[in-house]
Structure 1
Amino acid sequence: MTPPRPTPRFRPTSRGAVIATCLVAAVTLAGCSAETPVVDGDEPITIGTTGTVTALDPAAATDAGSFAVQSQVFPYLLSSPYGSAELEPDIAESAGFTSATQYTVVLKPDLEWANGNALTASDVVFSFDRQRTINAATTAGADGPLANLASTEALDETTVVFTLTTENDALFSRVLAGAAGAIVDEETFAADAVTPDDDIVEAEAFAGPYTLTRYDRNNMLEYRAFGGYQGLLETARTEDIAVKYYANAANLKLDVQEGNIDVAWGSLSASDVDDLRGNDAVTVVDAPGGDIRFLAFSASAQPFGTATPEPDAARALAVRAAVAELVDREQLAAQVYTGSMLPLYSQVAAGLAGATESLKGFYGDGDGGPDPDQATQLLTAAGVTMPVALTLNFSSELYGAESAAEYALIEAQLEATGAFAVTLQDTAAAQYRAEADSYPASQSGRTPQYADADTYLRPVFAEGAGAGLDPALLELIAEQATTADAGERTALIEGIQDDLAAALPTLPLLQSTQIAVTGADISGLDDTLDASLTLRYAALFRE
């Protein structure tokens, strides 16, 4: 028997809508500026990062560190303007569905690679065909971004038709703008094998905002603005960019505060960022990020779960709801992460279309704070004896050193009123990955693969977190991905978040921030730290 679900007690304003409004305002203000920054050819900007590059070839690597390079130098059919996650034509002149299963792209005329080769529809077909050939089991596999692509055909020099296996794929445009969507030069790249980094650089096989003039992987990369770039972002604001790679975040912090680099971008600790905020020589710029953290409840192993001695769906839900009533996200964000993480009140990261704050309406004081009295009432009404024994599993190795402090604080929040007796268990990453689905309640997270609500829904609930969910809700989660009308899809995503808040298979807790630290004379980061989650070097300039 399905237990009765909670109904929302409050109707909060969507934080996602607020952030989206701010992003729109930022774009409007940028468009009204008195003068547009011009290319600065006198002094390069040096960026420091803790990221790592696996490979330059888009068919060889889709990790964040590699995409950070690829997105600067390769062209894409679609991209996002500064200050937005919404997609617009990049090197395309137009793009869209011409039938339920055909997506047609028309390229801008007279496109060229930096080496002088013509960039045509043939390059586009070549790029996607080689991705499917080289990555048949991954990128083009059942769970890969190109899984729905049946074929790619060039009708003429500028027109490409993508034929899909599923109708009305609302996410295909995101694929074209993502790591699998990079267009490469067919006269440089191998059709059925990964092309070495040095061969790509030597051939100048680039047509993004920048070309690479020096490539010392994971040590130093040097970029120069590409004069033939015809994409969405227009002319790069700084001609020369250097990127220095750091193995140690402490050295990155030291160099930016001493002025040895202009921008620090990477995994600075919460304490390092907090320390830098008090340094007048630098500016900390932050915006909502894409990574989220949540507590995942096992349908079988949670208190009163299906595999426990006393399985009871109604009491299991009461326990999950009581946890939701007691968690104080603001305290977690402020005390443990000192602002480098933000409170999260829904399964979808704030800033994306359709993001809500559903949990505020169902649990707590209506404004994001806890409600201990309501937690006690829920457990009492369900006939649950207090304190409830609850084991919380987490992995400091997998989710960061601050995890121990985060879960110690959650333990204190749950135990403060006597509702729970919590046992904490920190587990090594390899064991944690293997056993996480069997833990009663476990630390979990999601790093987005694309800037869309779907990345937090289907991949999460198609696997362990979806166990025990109403099949009708799982169908809705699948349906949103093929809903062509943007308004209908947004409404569907909003409703899914309400349903997830009521069912609580997961309890969203925190959302990352994008953080960069700059010298006092560097501008442009406010333009590019946006919901697209991509740092575009072309936005940066020295005042």
Structure 2
Amino acid sequence: MSTVKRLAVVGAVGLIATTSACGSSGSGAAPNAASGAKITIGSATAYSTLDPAVAYDAGSWAVYYNIYQSLLSYAPGANQPSPDAAKTCGFSDPVTYKCELRPGLKFTNGDPLDAAAVKFSIDRVLKIKNDSQVWTLLSTIKSVDTPNSSTVVFNLNTPDATLPDRLAAGVASIVDPKLASPTKGVTDPTDTSIGVGSGVYKIDKVDFKDGQPSVLHLSVNPAYQGAALDNGGKLQNSGVTVNFYDNVKETKAALDSGAVDAVATDIAPTDIVKLQNDQQLGKGLQVVEGPGAQIRLMPLNLAKAPFNNKAVRVAIARLLNRDSIASGVFQGTVTPLYSMIPSGITDQNAAYLNLYPPASAATVKRSLQKAGVHLPVSFTLDYTLNSTAGDAEAKMIKAQLESTGLFQVTLRTHATYTAMKNEVLKKGDFDAYTVSWLPDYPDPDDFVSPFVGAPSSMYINYQPAAIVGKIAATLKETDRLAAAKDYADIQNAFANDAAYIPIWQNKAYAVTQADITGAGLTLDTSAVIRWWLFGKSS
């Protein structure tokens, strides 16, 4: 993914539950009435628009997962999607995917949600082709057929075993054809006209400040039918109010004052550690930890010196002390990463550690001299100021490399990822930079495919033919475990080229008031925050 949704600049448990995209179980009947207390959520990532054809940011998708439905979704702890608006889905052949809808689905305004609405929603994403590039997630879809009002058939350009995952992503949210233009996206966050879905919640009102959402008021959709109610599932609250804040300092202050009941992910590492210590002493707020799938990388510009020389790239891979970054900057709230694929995602290995074990400065110096590299190597490291501990992290990387006497590092800051992209990345005017990647779906493909191509999501023009071929092979495997060897080879190939330097993988955290329940059920590698699972103990 090429923008803020997955380049998450704000900032080892395997998945146990695995579901398949075949059929839903349970009645999925709508609740008789909303029950439970209302919950107030604090967030430092407001949505940018309510239009799934436009948004590619974490704040927007968090809202979409709660107000819209997709054909499929991820159950808590699952690493494969299962039916949601659909009752069954499956491949009839490698390039044909068919879904049958649940009967009687409706948008919250009473309009029917049928096969035509699904086709409309997917087609408009591909027609609009918004500059955010979110449409590329659905680019393997050649056409959508609707043989009848309850059947949707996806015809693909090429085999794509990850299509079920993509159809569970925010971009595939189903919108009301009567409210959305088939050819024009909604970019104004104050335009809420498109925000009518069939999900767990419906929008009652949005408050705005300076043209941006400040408070989102949601109540339970009384006609909801979907996966949240399958297998005896229950909604744990009668509504949610989401307060949007400017930064993580403000979300923490809101927790301290009791203004919000819970905050998921938007808490600074230093606050997490202090809160965990307070919790052990039996006081303060609750901290819930779960597996995370966000990774931190240093992409290296292959098009120019010094990183057009593999020996220099390998030197960075060997010298970077990930343990010190994880423990010193992030105080143990992240773990060192030695692969493009993080722990908790199928087929992860430690390719970089295996190929480039830590080495002394003297050893690395000899390797650089043998390759004819002039020392010290000078380069500029770009990073964003609004990333979690980004300033401290960049300074530690600089200190680590310069302490060897082999590198001279100039730090260059940017306000946001978007600013960095426009100021240097799109122009190719950079040497290296740090960035975080949050996957669109918890499949190993989303940690490899976006990082190759011209120029690729990372702007480094990395086009290894061997990896591209292997990726094509993996996408033919609807049994994702059957692709394990190919993914091992792909990770080893990434490490061999060292075009990217993995740094760390996050842990997911939620912080709540003492009487809040359910936070632990919504922290997993899908990165879907399920607001309906938050409740209050009696």
Band the TM-score falls in, shorter-chain normalisation: 0.7 to 0.9
* TM-aligned CA distance change 1:394 to 1:161, over 3 Å: same
Equivalent residue for 2:444, pick from 453, 458, 463: 453
Go from structure 1 to structure 2 and tell me whether the alpha carbon gap of 1:43 and 1:151 turns closer, same or farther (over 3 Å shift): same
Which of the two has higher C-alpha Rg? Answer: 1
Deviation readout 1:51-71 (Å, 9 max, x if unpaired): 112222323433221221121
The letter for the 2-side match of 1:100 is P
Please give the alpha-carbon distance, in whole angstroms, between the structure 1 residues aligned to 2:291 and 2:424.
31
Matching of residues 82-481 of structure 1 within 5 Å: 82-135=76-129, 144-166=136-158, 168-194=159-185, 197-200=191-194, 205-217=196-208, 218-234=213-229, 235-265=234-264, 267-279=266-278, 280-303=283-306, 316-364=309-357, 370-372=358-360, 375-376=363-364, 379=367, 382=370, 388-397=376-385, 400=387, 402-418=389-405, 420-428=406-414, 430=419, 433-436=422-425, 437-464=428-455, 467=461, 470-481=464-475
Deviates more, 1:269-278 or 1:339-348: 269-278
Pairing 1:529–2:516 present = no
Separation of aligned partners in 2, 1:426 and 1:62: 26
CA contact (8 A) 2:70 2:173 kept: yes
1:447–1:349 distance in 2 versus 1, CA, 3 Å: same
Judged with a 3 Å threshold, the aligned counterparts in structure 2 of structure 1 residues 413 and 54 are, in CA distance, closer, same or farther, namely: closer
Contact 1:458 1:478 in 2 (8 A): no
CA pair 361-136 structure 1, distance change in 2 beyond 3 A: closer
SS in 1 for 2:138: coil
Distance 1:443 1:48, change over 3 A: closer
What is the deviation of 1:425?
2.4
Distance of 1:385 and 1:165 partners within structure 2: 45
Give the deviation of 1:79 after TM superposition. 0.6
Gaps of 5+ in 1: 1-17, 25-37, 307-315, 365-369
Aligned to 1:531, what secondary structure does the other structure show? coil
Change (3 A) 1:233 1:401: closer
Identity of aligned residues (%): 27
- AA of the residue aligned to 2:271: D
Distance 1:100 1:23 in 2: 25
Q: Over the residues paired in the alignment, what is the CA RMSD in angstroms?
A: 3.0
Return the offset for 1:80: 0.6
Confirm or deny: 8 A CA contact 2:384 2:420 kept in the other structure: no
Matches of 2:132 and 2:274 in 1, distance apart? 41
Aligned length: 490
CA contact (8 A) 1:325 1:375 kept: no
> 2: distance between equivalents of 1:374 and 1:86?
46
Distance 2:437 2:250 in 1: 28
Q: Is this contact kept in 2: 1:301–1:439, CA < 8 A?
A: no
Q: Deviations over 1:426-477 (max 9, x none)?
A: 2436467544545444334434333332233222221456647642233323
Cα 1:188/1:318, change in 2 over 3 Å: closer
Residue ranges of structure 2 left out of the alignment (5+ in a row)? 1-11, 19-31
List per-residue Cα deviations over 1:387-412 (Å, max 9, x = no partner): 54242412233x63733322332233
Q: Letter of the 2:494 partner, please give it.
A: L
Give how far 1:193 is off. 4.1
Task: Determine the C-alpha separation between the residues in 2 that align with 1:515 and 1:410.
Answer: 25
CA distance in 2, matches of 1:424, 1:401: 20
Q: Hey, what's the Cα distance between the residues in 1 that align with 2:277 and 2:347? A: 36
Give the conservation status (yes or no) of the 8 Å contact 1:469–1:505.
no
How many Å separate the matches in 2 of 1:345 and 1:140?
A: 28
Structure-2 separation of matches of 1:445 and 1:219? 25
Residue of structure 2 in register with 1:12 after alignment: none
Give the whole-Å Cα distance in 1 for the aligned partners of 2:407 and 2:130.
Answer: 48
Change (3 A) 1:472 1:502: same
Superposed CA deviations along residues 162-184 of structure 1, whole A, max 9, x for unmatched, are 11222x11222122111221112
User: Which stretches of structure 1, 4 residues or more, deviate above 6 A after TM superposition?
Assistant: none
Cα deviation, residue 375, structure 1:
3.8
Deviation for aligned residue 1:138: 6.0
Q: For residues 178 and 104 of structure 1, what CA distance do their matches in structure 2 show?
A: 17
Q: CA deviation at 1:322?
A: 3.0
Show CA shifts across 1:217-238 (max 9, x none): 5222222222332211213121
TM-score (norm 1): 0.81
What's 1:313 paired with? Answer: none
Matched, 1:81 2:69: no
Supply the AA of the counterpart residue of 1:421: F
Tell whether the 8 Å contact from 1:23 to 1:530 is kept in structure 2 after alignment: no
- Larger deviation, residues 291-300 vs 514-523: 291-300
Distance 1:431 1:323, change over 3 A: closer
Greater displacement, 183-192 / 337-346: 183-192
